[in-house]
Structure 1
Amino acid sequence: MKAYNIKRAALCVALGTCLGIMLPTTAMAQNVSGAVAGRATAGDQITVVNAGTGLTRTVTVGVDGSYRLGQLPVGDYRLQLSRDGQTLGEQVAVSVAVGGTTTVNLASGGGVTNLDALQVVGTRVINRVDVYSTETSFNINRQEISRLPVAQDLSAVALMAPGVVGGNSSFGGLSFAGSSVAENAVFINGLNVTDMYTRRGFSTAPFAFFNEFQVKTGGYSVEFGRSTGGVINAVTRSGSNEFKGGVEVTAEPSAGRSSGGDHFHRDGTPHSYGSRDNNSFLKTNVWGSGPIIKDKLFLFAMYEDRNDRGHNTSSDGSTWFKNKSGNGFWGTKLDWNINDNHSLALLAFSDEGDVTNASYAYAWDDNRLGDWGGDSITETGGKNWSATYTGHFGQNFTARAMVGQNNQRAFTNSSLDQACSPVFTDSTYGTRLSKLQGLRAGCHPTGTAVAERDDTRDVARLDFEWQLGDHLLRFGVDRELMTTDQTTRYPGPTALSYTAYVARPGDEVWDGANAYV
């Protein structure tokens, strides 16, 4: 009986191990690359060449007639079949997408076939059904989305995937298949850029900085930890052997926008004013790419200046707000093909920005500005970087190592912080002295505490992929160290707050002193 139990336990362990290595997931390290796989004649050589950088990878077809070229940078390739040093058939154009496996099956003569041995005639072979993965995902590249009438940001891309909806007005964010808006993760070139404090936002970059997007809504693998909702996986653009550059200017003048409306209650009293609000937007984007060393070292760089200006009134029409924002984004990607088996990629970008909101007293009926009430300045964003090494050791073993850092800042302050202490009021301030009603106590525009927060995420991870015949074994380890540095204080020279109230004659005011008329 004891021997039987030992045999049964050994069988369970063996089955569990086999099932683990037979899982058909095919990407690793946040799926920043793709693969080409299929069937051909055993012993033949399959070679793919990147059309932009000249990167070349070759693999020998296994005895079972299958082959796989993993960890290929996203892009367009030319595939060639060779036998005994002689090329067979014509080159096949293959597109490698982020996180996916493109299937190309080759006949003995080098022609493209399907599993039924029917010849397919064409210059571009893409299997839209990824038979190597069980995850539910949506892929789209920059060229495809440029032809669609959607907003140019990551959230708009994610909303194109089935099951993704926008969050409610209170929390914002995105909901994947009914999950909360705080259960998602966003990656740029494998670097986790999710807001670590609120979990609702993420570090941003101009839409033109990206090359391809993948939205995972379910069934994704274990390396996408720390998320139970969905994943937005974006890959940035890279340089190639061809020098390229461009300038794009986007203008949205206030004259081209529709006007808001004023809303009133049934008795004619105003509910909210909006007819005098306006906003204008100007964006200038400059980018360039090309080889530093042909076939070896490539650079992509971008700078974008964004300016948003406008004004609006408070709902009661008593305050006029002037706002302006600035964001001088910069980003760069450096790719070094050390040789065909080893490569290094460096990414750095900054999404630092600020918004200034100035308030003024305002008389709606006379359309006249009054005294300045101070400025409120909000600072966001931060500098981010990552370094990724990819090595192919033989035909069946691949290793990838990445280190990086994600920084985000949240700081709202006022130009009157140093001069004005916060003054709060109790109920007696307005009820006991009617002439004070509508007046703001103190000179600080908000009267709230000044909070400054800097969040830092340090990332390190190792990923390995080992092809064992028909099976693919993937394993790795990652570590994220998240640090928050936050300070909170009252504005003003003393960092103290005060309360204003109106006392009746005879009331005790402070330490035995009485109020009198």
Structure 2
Amino acid sequence: MASKYLVKGLKRSALTVALGLSFVGGVQAQSNTAGAVSGRATAGDTITIENTNTGFSRTITVSGDGSYRLSQLPIGQYTITRKGVDGATSTRTASVSVGTASNIDFVNASGAQTLDTVTVVGSAAINPIDVSSVESTTILTAEQIAKIPVQRDATSVALLAPGTVRGDAAFGKLASFGGSSVAENQYYLNGFNITNTFKNLNFAQIPYEAIAEQQVKTGGYGAEFGRSTGGVINMISKSGTNEFKAGGNVFWTPESLSEPTPDLYYNDGRLVSDNSKDTGWEATAAVWASGALVKDKLFGYALLQYGRTQKDAYPGSTDGISGGRNTLEEEKSPTWLLKMDWNITDNHLLALTAFSDTRKTETKYYNTGFGTDAAPNAANPSRRDYVGSLKTEEGGDSYALKYTGYLSDNFTLSALAGHGEFKRRNYAILPNGSRMQYSGNLNDPVGGCPIVRDFRPDAVQQATGTLVGCDFAGSLIRADAGDERDQYRIDAEWLLGDHQIRFGYDVDDFTTVDGSVYSGGYYYQYYQLAGQDFVRRYDIRQGATVEVNQEAFYLEDSWHVTDNFMLYGGVRWDSFENKNGAGQSYVKIDDQFAPRLGFSWDVNGDSSFKVFGNAGRYALPLTANVAIRGASASLFVHQDFFYDSIATDGSSAPQGLTPCTLDACDAAPFYHNGESGAAKDPRAIASTNLDPMYQDEFILGFQMQLTDHLSAGVRGIYRKLERAIDDTCDTAPIESWAIANGFDPDSIAYGNPAFPYCRLYNPGSDGVWNLDVDGNGTLETVTVPADQLGPEAKRSYSALEFFWEGSWDKFFLQGSYTYARSKGNSEGGVKSDIGQGDTGTTQDFDYPALMLGSYGYLPNDRRHSLKLFGNYEITDEWSVGANLVVQSGRPVNCFGVYGDDPTGYGASYFSCGNTEPVGGSNDNGTTIVHRGSAGRTPWTNTVDLNVAYSPAYVEGLTFKVDVFNVFNSDKPTAVDEVGEDDTGSIVGAASTYLTPLNWQTPRSVRFMVQYDF
């Protein structure tokens, strides 16, 4: 039985080997940029591996126990030759993918020598299961991605993997892994970290034509990888070979074949947004070339890509009555990538990766009218006067240099140094041509056209205020905003008998420049009290340069206890330090210990049936955004004024301000949380016992080769959040401590630089803060028991994943079904319920009252997920591909006002009066509606199809058409979950509760023409 599978498994084409490696199972953390070949032969034999495309070659001697391993191999096609001690030779071929170990045996399970020479011939048999695996990993190659209808970006490809679901649209195009929030992932290109650590909600947008393979780690990854409690997306770029290759392609999605999103109606029947006129198109063109500058020594791959997107949107107003804003958005993205490889010798390699992902977007804003003034709610929204433009710039240039040295048969060393830059800035243009831009200086009021809303009785919409000023820009980011990363790492692998030992050290320093201000500098709200008009002015500004410094050591051992059984053990020590705008450390955590354990059992000894499992701990550092406002100097002040007049220049700004003397006014400036522009004391920001967010994970599964053409597997997964970081803004426990320790309640100095209102801590743990309680300049150590601060942060994820792959002569099919449950009181870094992207400092845990009823099913709880994709080659010229995704909906909440609103947060509690009681009522008679208990969004299904034609008469030419969402399914993917307005009334929210916020992406058609030579 064993030899049968071995011989059959050897007869397959190189492409099929690549496809076989691509989807299911998991692979040991061999490397984040390379792969390996391992197996068994006769002790003393020599094994030579050669990539004929690059001339790279290595030769090693089989160890005394009959095992061999060649590590840190660049991905590609290899010929493996065994030369026996008796002079006989045997030859195999293998495709090496990132992070995988291709198992090539020259003896069978009993130790007997196999055929002296085996020539690999074409066959559709799948690749043997990688028995050196303890991870849950998906690998997709460029060839596969080209065959299936999928958007060409890292997130879309990652969503093909089991256990991944699309994150909330509020955070852009990101994936949730295993119930974690979208802010808990890490992203790499050729070993260089391309995650944007500002909020962990962005990463470098690599031109996807340059990607050779994408590895998606959904769980169980080794100690080499850290700083993630979600998943890891690891991309490998294409490289040059001895053969000169060049080509180009064009992708075009025309507006005439793209459907709009559905119209938005409120529950009372009002048409709020007529999207029928919404249009958009996008096009991308790329050219590339690769080859050898010096044969077998120096290779290059270069790609230039230019993309352009235009979106025309005609939404209605937010009240369904007055005119709203419509937009014309245009994005231009000139990008490039360069990969240089220098084989200095067969034992010393050097690789350079450089890329740019700059994107510039201009959004023009216009007032919207519906039909005629006599029929404001009629269809056919029109574009009226020009309001202004917002211009943004994102992305930047990155460079990484990596050395790999095969210092002996048993020892390999690699080193990487990289630098990356990411811009993140905007400015606004007014109709008169003037520019609104923020310098980052807290004393800079910006000027221009401010945001103005009118809440006076004669205003059209009193609940939210009628817009009368310039709010199209919202907030302005400082002109020099951006991020820089400097990364250095060393990795080594040492083979010692039955042990494969890997260890390494890396430094990752991330610097952020950020700050924001209201467009126009201020936000005004007009009010009327006792017949007297007054205006409230808000002034909110931040600006700082902050740092996140990270370093880690790791050590891991893969111990081949027997020929069929491997034990994996790993440990990782992470250190994190966060610095504020003054360069002062406000959070420093040393030696966070993260153990990893696993096993892999090759049951039959022929890679046909594997049982595997692992357990691990994964830690997440605090992101940089926390320090911009929370730990650095910031301004948040509001003050009420009388005014002489209102400007008629279109800004509607108040003129002739004098402090308001009404009893209801804040005549003196009121500084929120003490944010008066003074520098904050870094010692007071975080609890002295603060630990990083970490999660424990357990996986158990098996994978079996059912036939030569089909394999399948099952794995069970359990993740539990053991600790989180968030902030608390509740001063009541501090007041209680102060009184109990002899302080006069009237002397408590709220908001001084050493007494911030909001402070970092681990929910569920005691808070221990150094605060200047009485404002005398001396810090007091304030200890608040955990039960006074609110509940412990909880999140658990349990899942059962079924996965399979099949490959036949002209057909391959892969897929998965996942049953999962995600439950707790904390999603993680962000809050999808309300679209809050303040990573690490959401409104959760600010006050205990906000957490009443917070335990339940979380936003990324998708109970059922079915994924199926593949391709069928009808003839040598024609092929068709398909991609099916069916998922159950996400849980829905009902947010409202609890009691008499003890926190002042308005409709932000799990408390709602317009829903049937769920879980009982609180003491004030307010109904608690537990998280996720107000229903679910609908099931969604999406079918994508494509057809490709490669005419035989022009070699290298391909035409392809992709149709996404063929049946134009338009189910809502997120809904308005606010069931009461801020006064606790259901009247204001009754028309909007459960109305859609986002829908499935509508049907679109993408055309491609590509020519390779």
Specify whether residues 427 and 347 from structure 1 end up closer, same or farther in structure 2 by C-alpha distance, changes over 3 A only: same
Aligned to 1:480: 508
Greater Cα offset, 160-169 or 63-72? 160-169
Greater Cα offset, 96-105 or 253-262? 253-262
Measure how far apart 1:403 and its partner are: 0.6
In 2, the alpha carbon distance for the partners of 1:513 and 1:26 equals 68
Measure how far apart 1:456 and its partner are: 1.4
AA at the equivalent of 1:465? E
AA at the equivalent of 2:370? W
Task: Please list, as runs of the form range in 1=range in 2, the aligned pairs for 1:158-169 lying within 5 A after superposition.
Answer: 158-169=158-169
Specify whether residues 479 and 396 from structure 1 end up closer, same or farther in structure 2 by C-alpha distance, changes over 3 A only: same
- Contact 1:34/1:73, CA 8 A, preserved across alignment: yes
Residue 349 of structure 2 is aligned to residue 321 of structure 1:
no
Residue 120 of structure 2 is aligned to residue 122 of structure 1:
yes
Greater Cα offset, 362-371 or 96-105? 362-371
In 1, the alpha carbon distance for the partners of 2:266 and 2:27 equals 59
In 2, the alpha carbon distance for the partners of 1:506 and 1:106 equals 90
Residue 188 of structure 2 is aligned to residue 206 of structure 1:
no
Specify whether residues 94 and 114 from structure 1 end up closer, same or farther in structure 2 by C-alpha distance, changes over 3 A only: farther
Pick aligned residue for 1:353 from 359, 362, 376: 359
Pick aligned residue for 1:384 from 393, 398, 401: 398
- Contact 1:310/1:322, CA 8 A, preserved across alignment: yes
Provide the secondary structure at the position in 2 that maps to 1:105.
coil
Measure how far apart 1:150 and its partner are: 2.1
Measure how far apart 1:183 and its partner are: 1.7
Specify whether residues 244 and 269 from structure 1 end up closer, same or farther in structure 2 by C-alpha distance, changes over 3 A only: same
Measure how far apart 1:441 and its partner are: 3.6
Specify whether residues 264 and 126 from structure 1 end up closer, same or farther in structure 2 by C-alpha distance, changes over 3 A only: closer
In 2, the alpha carbon distance for the partners of 1:306 and 1:318 equals 30
Aligned-residue RMSD, C-alpha: 3.0
In 1, the alpha carbon distance for the partners of 2:127 and 2:110 equals 12
- Contact 2:421/2:485, CA 8 A, preserved across alignment: yes
AA at the equivalent of 2:157? V
Aligned to 1:295: 296
Greater Cα offset, 265-274 or 452-461? 265-274
Measure how far apart 1:443 and its partner are: 5.0
In 2, the alpha carbon distance for the partners of 1:397 and 1:262 equals 63
Measure how far apart 1:86 and its partner are: 4.6
Measure how far apart 1:195 and its partner are: 2.0
In 1, the alpha carbon distance for the partners of 2:300 and 2:148 equals 28
Aligned to 1:15: none
- Contact 2:284/2:305, CA 8 A, preserved across alignment: yes
Measure how far apart 1:121 and its partner are: 6.8
Aligned to 1:150: 150
AA at the equivalent of 1:341? N
Measure how far apart 1:79 and its partner are: 1.1
In 2, the alpha carbon distance for the partners of 1:512 and 1:388 equals 63
- Contact 2:28/2:221, CA 8 A, preserved across alignment: no
AA at the equivalent of 1:313? Y
Q: TM-score, normalised by structure 2?
A: 0.45
Measure how far apart 1:474 and its partner are: 1.1
AA at the equivalent of 1:479? V
Task: Please list, as runs of the form range in 1=range in 2, the aligned pairs for 1:85-484 lying within 5 A after superposition.
Answer: 86=87, 88-89=89-90, 91-107=91-107, 113=108, 117=112, 122-123=120-121, 127-171=127-171, 173-264=174-265, 269-316=270-317, 318-365=324-371, 368-416=382-430, 417-418=435-436, 420-428=448-456, 431-432=457-458, 440-443=467-470, 445-446=472-473, 448-451=475-478, 453-484=481-512
Measure how far apart 1:25 and its partner are: 7.9
Greater Cα offset, 317-326 or 31-40? 317-326
The one-character-per-residue Cα deviations of 1:293-349 (angstroms, maximum 9, x if unpaired) are 010000000011101112111233643311110000111000000000000000000
In 1, the alpha carbon distance for the partners of 2:370 and 2:349 equals 63
Specify whether residues 92 and 264 from structure 1 end up closer, same or farther in structure 2 by C-alpha distance, changes over 3 A only: same
- Contact 2:29/2:221, CA 8 A, preserved across alignment: no
In 1, the alpha carbon distance for the partners of 2:254 and 2:507 equals 46
- Contact 2:42/2:84, CA 8 A, preserved across alignment: no
Measure how far apart 1:190 and its partner are: 0.6
Residue 65 of structure 2 is aligned to residue 51 of structure 1:
no
Specify whether residues 506 and 149 from structure 1 end up closer, same or farther in structure 2 by C-alpha distance, changes over 3 A only: closer
In 1, the alpha carbon distance for the partners of 2:458 and 2:316 equals 26
Aligned to 1:5: none
Specify whether residues 269 and 337 from structure 1 end up closer, same or farther in structure 2 by C-alpha distance, changes over 3 A only: same
AA at the equivalent of 2:226? G
Specify whether residues 168 and 328 from structure 1 end up closer, same or farther in structure 2 by C-alpha distance, changes over 3 A only: same
The one-character-per-residue Cα deviations of 1:375-408 (angstroms, maximum 9, x if unpaired) are 0112211211110000011111111000112322
AA at the equivalent of 2:285? T
In 2, the alpha carbon distance for the partners of 1:288 and 1:65 equals 43
In 2, the alpha carbon distance for the partners of 1:464 and 1:351 equals 31
In 1, the alpha carbon distance for the partners of 2:470 and 2:398 equals 38
Between the two proteins, the alignment pairs up a number of residues equal to 481
Provide the secondary structure at the position in 2 that maps to 1:146.
helix
The one-character-per-residue Cα deviations of 1:125-151 (angstroms, maximum 9, x if unpaired) are 985322223112112211122222222
Aligned to 1:4: none
The one-character-per-residue Cα deviations of 1:29-77 (angstroms, maximum 9, x if unpaired) are x521011111111111110111310100001111111111111100001
Measure how far apart 1:448 and its partner are: 3.3
Q: Please, which runs of 5 or more residues in structure 1 have no aligned partner? A: 1-23, 108-112
Specify whether residues 114 and 379 from structure 1 end up closer, same or farther in structure 2 by C-alpha distance, changes over 3 A only: farther
In 2, the alpha carbon distance for the partners of 1:371 and 1:280 equals 24
Q: TM-score, normalised by structure 1?
A: 0.85
Aligned to 1:6: none
Greater Cα offset, 266-275 or 147-156? 266-275
Specify whether residues 487 and 179 from structure 1 end up closer, same or farther in structure 2 by C-alpha distance, changes over 3 A only: closer
Specify whether residues 273 and 511 from structure 1 end up closer, same or farther in structure 2 by C-alpha distance, changes over 3 A only: closer
Provide the secondary structure at the position in 2 that maps to 1:157.
helix
The one-character-per-residue Cα deviations of 1:413-452 (angstroms, maximum 9, x if unpaired) are 2113437241433522xx2467999975445633534445
Measure how far apart 1:455 and its partner are: 1.4
Specify whether residues 101 and 175 from structure 1 end up closer, same or farther in structure 2 by C-alpha distance, changes over 3 A only: same
Provide the secondary structure at the position in 1 that maps to 2:475.
coil
Provide the secondary structure at the position in 1 that maps to 2:143.
helix
